[in-house]
Amino acid sequence: MSQSEKTKGKLIRSAKKIFSEKGFWDTKVSDIVKDAGVAQGTFYLYFKSKDEIFKELVLEIRNHIIEIIDKYKNADENIIKTLIDLKSEILEYLYQNKEIARIFLFQLFTKEELMQIYFETLNYIEDFDKNLIQKGVAKGVIKYPDVENIINIILGYGRRLFETEVLLKGKPLDEVKKIQKEGIQIIFKGIS
Amino acid sequence: MSQSEKTKGKLIRSAKKIFSEKGFWDTKVSDIVKDAGVAQGTFYLYFKSKDEIFKELVLEIRNHIIEIIDKYKNADENIIKTLIDLKSEILEYLYQNKEIARIFLFQLFTKEELMQIYFETLNYIEDFDKNLIQKGVAKGVIKYPDVENIINIILGYGRRLFETEVLLKGKPLDEVKKIQKEGIQIIFKGIS
DNA sequence: ATAATATGACTGATGAGTCAGTCAGAGAAG
DNA sequence: CTTCTCTGACTGACTCATCAGTCATATTAT
């Protein structure tokens, strides 16, 4: 790895850490460079601005989530299994990247542009879920017809699970996966 | 109403509006006073600091939500009805106070002190729900024993419903209440 | 020796909070 | 009734600390 790649990496690692702890506004560029062990000027060799590095982190999550979903785009196993597997994989990614996950969930709501990225990503998930649920309704496996509302239950649950069980309580991944699976099964029982 | 009460009221109204649009950090005291039609100095006759007025708004929500829950503390109708009524009442309050609701849901995550108020409030709701659900489990009405997980589903859903159906889509209160009732019934079917 | 990296003191803008001063109107004094 | 004084509410130009971003210079690697 070249020197410059190393330095940029250090800056990104420090930025993730500090943005996730203190949020965008309370994080000073001077905090990031101090943590990374480089000078203020060095930061600007790698990033145009504080805004830019922040956006880069946010896009990293968005892109990864979209990638995961795309893998499932042509899965045609049974509906509930697909959903459980997908949610489990997203959970795992967020679990392994708690810092940027925290940024994504909590720190995007003051900048219009970042909110758009957030909602765009959410929409992508919603569309996938909607498609899946609609198949279930068509097949008659799912009796409750308000697809939007089902998605509200599922997505609301997913977010909350990550917030409380992972971020607040710090439960291990396997346990949270198991809980999530149960939760989804319960929801499916409810709409059957 | 005295002159000074009027002025303080104007400042609070403007603060709600602007904080909810732009968040804490992007809102300048100069924005608030401009909107309220008073001078910068006047602001500091009524509030010690920008932090203070923000916190005042946040506490307003917390206190109101706690009040609502307390009303239900000794209700002993059937479990699902109590839950639906409570959630409906909280929904209605947030609906009527969208601006501070937006602040409460999205703007508290950069200041440690404010996050504590957020989690404290959430805890209050959780405790109430937990108590209710536990009764259901004891009675045998609810078969699924992981009370925490049930609460994850219910609370996650509540938040999400408000975010998408009220704040994003702007649906009328009655419709959202109806949707929420259906959602809760589905969850109950799932855990029965 | 030359290019690639890094440095950190500096600058300029910004915005929270201050404070000396204005002013309308309510009584009191003549 | 009119002049004087007092007071509560308000004003806005100013101060001062804070930071994002710059740049002339230094160091390191090839």
Indicate the domain borders of chain B.
1-47, 50-191
Question: Cβ contacts of residue A84 below 8 Å, gap of 6+?
Answer: A180, A181, A184, A185
Contacts of B24 in chain A (CB under 8 A): 25, 110
Ranges of chain B with pLDDT below 70: none
What pLDDT score does B2 carry?
A: 78
Compute the residue count for chain B: 192
Residues A17-51: tens digit of each pLDDT: 999 999 999 999 999 999 999 999 999 999 999 99
Question: Cβ contacts of residue A105 below 8 Å, gap of 6+?
Answer: A159, A162, A163
Nearest of A157, A77, A114 to residue B23 by alpha carbon:
A114
End-to-end CA distance of chain B: 54
| One-letter amino acid of B164 | T
- Token match 């109590």: residue? B82
Question: Does the CA dihedral A149-A151-A157-A159 come out positive or negative?
Answer: negative
Q: φ, ψ for residue A131 (rounded to 5)?
A: -55, -45
What pLDDT score does B9 carry?
A: 94
Q: Hey, what CATH topology would domain A50-191 get? A: Tetracycline Repressor; domain 2 (1.10.357)
Say if residues B176 and B89 touch (Cβ distance below 8 Å).
Answer: no
Which pair of structure tokens corresponds to residue B68? 């609502």
What pLDDT score does A183 carry?
A: 98
Chain B contact residues (CB < 8 Å to A): 22-26, 106-107, 109-110, 144, 146, 149-150, 152-153, 155-161, 164-165, 179, 182-183, 186-191
**Better pLDDT: B111 or A148:** A148
| One-letter amino acid of B16 | K
- Token match 């967020």: residue? A94
pLDDT band, residue A112 (cuts 50/70/90): confident
What pLDDT score does B5 carry?
A: 87
Interface mutation vs chain B, best among A159, A163, A164, most B CBs within 10 Å? A164
Q: Given a cut of 80, is residue A1 above it in pLDDT? A: no
CA distance B21 to B27: 9
Residues B107-128: tens digit of each pLDDT: 999 888 999 999 999 999 999 9
What pLDDT score does A10 carry?
A: 96
CA distance B134 to B142: 9
* H-state helical runs in chain B: 3-26, 29-36, 40-46, 50-72, 79-96, 98-106, 112-139, 147-161, 173-191
Which pair of structure tokens corresponds to residue A88? 């489990």
Residues A74-109: tens digit of each pLDDT: 877 799 999 999 999 999 999 999 999 999 999 999
Say if residues A173 and A122 touch (Cβ distance below 8 Å).
Answer: no
What pLDDT score does A111 carry?
A: 87
Domain B1-47 CATH assignment equals 1.10.10.60: yes
CA distance A133 to A131: 6
CA distance B22 to chain A (A): 6
The answer to whether ipTM exceeds 0.85 is yes
* Strand D footprint nucleotides (protein C-beta < 7 Å): 8-14, 18-24, 29
Interface mutation vs chain A, best among B21, B108, B125, B160, most A CBs within 10 Å? B160
CA distance A105 to A95: 13
Q: Do A152 and B159 touch (CB under 8 A)?
A: no
For every residue of B60-104, DSSP letters joined together read HHHHHHHHHHHHHTT--S-HHHHHHHHHHHHHHHHHHTHHHHHHH
CA of A64 to C1' of D27 (A): 39
What pLDDT score does B81 carry?
A: 95
Which pair of structure tokens corresponds to residue A113? 């542009």
Which letter, b or e, does each residue of B71-98 get, where b requires 16 or more Cβ atoms within 10 Å of its Cβ? ebeeeeeebbebbbebbbbbbebbbebe
Helix or strand or coil: residue B172? coil
